[in-house]
């Protein structure tokens, strides 16, 4: 009888969480509402800023004011054409030698200055289109709700094994765990960890976002081709880009469609 009850509860929870995702158009499993996303993202962001400052690292300083203003302008343009323009987007710049950037749920964005490091960086400093390619990709992870979908899948497994596990009541701290807190250079930095499927989806969505925002999508192709040819440790953006150029190939296939959106945006 207990096994039947557990199975019934599991089926009920899954039924409550299944719905059509407006971004992908596919049926998806997500127990969280859209209003939950900013809450999770803010916890991740606050935790990261605090961890960096405790190690003497600077965030949003006057020294980087020009680049921060550039990032805010780019995020402003990208967010307006995203699937969820009403998310409370915000972007921060940390003076940390890590080649990466991330967007937590609800549009909370962190960029590390190592992204444009002259030696190991990925983007050319001051190149708005290349920066838009990276930020468009990261914003896409938030609009596609990859974090809360992942949490929901994991909770389904937990619920199947115990009626005491509540899918809806899971602690939001789990959201931060998905960002893979890594100890590097004497400090903790968050490094997102997504599935290959999620990365490809973010590439596709991000490409369209940048094109619709008026940034040349051809910059994304060059960027991800460059990423595929480079190597880095687990904290870098290169870790999610296989050397066979799979992601760059998808971008190339999508480029004709993206260029049409780019031309519309320029009119």
- Cβ distance 134 to 169 under 8 Å? no
Given a contact cutoff of 8 angstroms between Cβ atoms, the answer to whether 122 and 98 are in contact is: no
State the DSSP code for 165.
-
**Whole-number Å distance between alpha carbons of 152 and 27:** 13
Cβ proximity of 109 and 75 under 8 Å: yes
Q: Looking at the annotation, which residues are catalytic?
A: 138
Give how far the C-alpha of residue 78 lies from the chain's centroid of Cα atoms, to the nearest Å.
Answer: 13
């Amino acid at each position: 009888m207990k096994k039947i009850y557990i199975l019934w509860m599991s089926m009920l929870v899954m039924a409550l969480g299944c719905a059509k995702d407006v971004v992908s158009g596919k049926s998806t499993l997500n127990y969280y509402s859209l209003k939950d996303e900013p809450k999770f993202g803010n916890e991740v962001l606050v935790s990261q800023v605090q961890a960096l400052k405790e190690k003497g690292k600077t965030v949003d300083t006057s020294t980087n004011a020009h680049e921060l203003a550039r990032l805010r302008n780019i995020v402003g343009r990208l967010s307006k054409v995203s699937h969820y323009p009403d998310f409370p987007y915000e972007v921060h710049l940390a003076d940390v030698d890590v080649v990466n950037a991330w967007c937590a749920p609800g549009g909370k964005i962190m960029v590390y200055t190592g992204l444009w490091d002259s030696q190991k960086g990925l983007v050319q400093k001051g190149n708005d289109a290349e920066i838009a390619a990276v930020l468009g990709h990261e914003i896409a992870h938030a609009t596609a709700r990859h974090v809360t979908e992942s949490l929901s899948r994991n909770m389904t497994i937990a619920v199947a094994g115990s009626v005491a596990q509540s899918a809806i009541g899971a602690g939001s701290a789990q959201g931060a765990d998905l960002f893979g807190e890594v100890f590097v250079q004497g400090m903790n930095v968050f490094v997102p960890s997504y599935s290959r499927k999620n990365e490809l989806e973010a590439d596709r969505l991000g490409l369209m976002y940048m094109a619709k925002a008026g940034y040349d999508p051809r910059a994304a192709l060059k960027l991800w081709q460059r990423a595929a040819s480079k190597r880095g440790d687990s904290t870098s953006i290169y870790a999610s880009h296989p050397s066979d150029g799979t992601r760059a190939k998808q971008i190339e296939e999508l480029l004709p469609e993206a260029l049409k959106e780019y031309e519309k945006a320029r009119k």
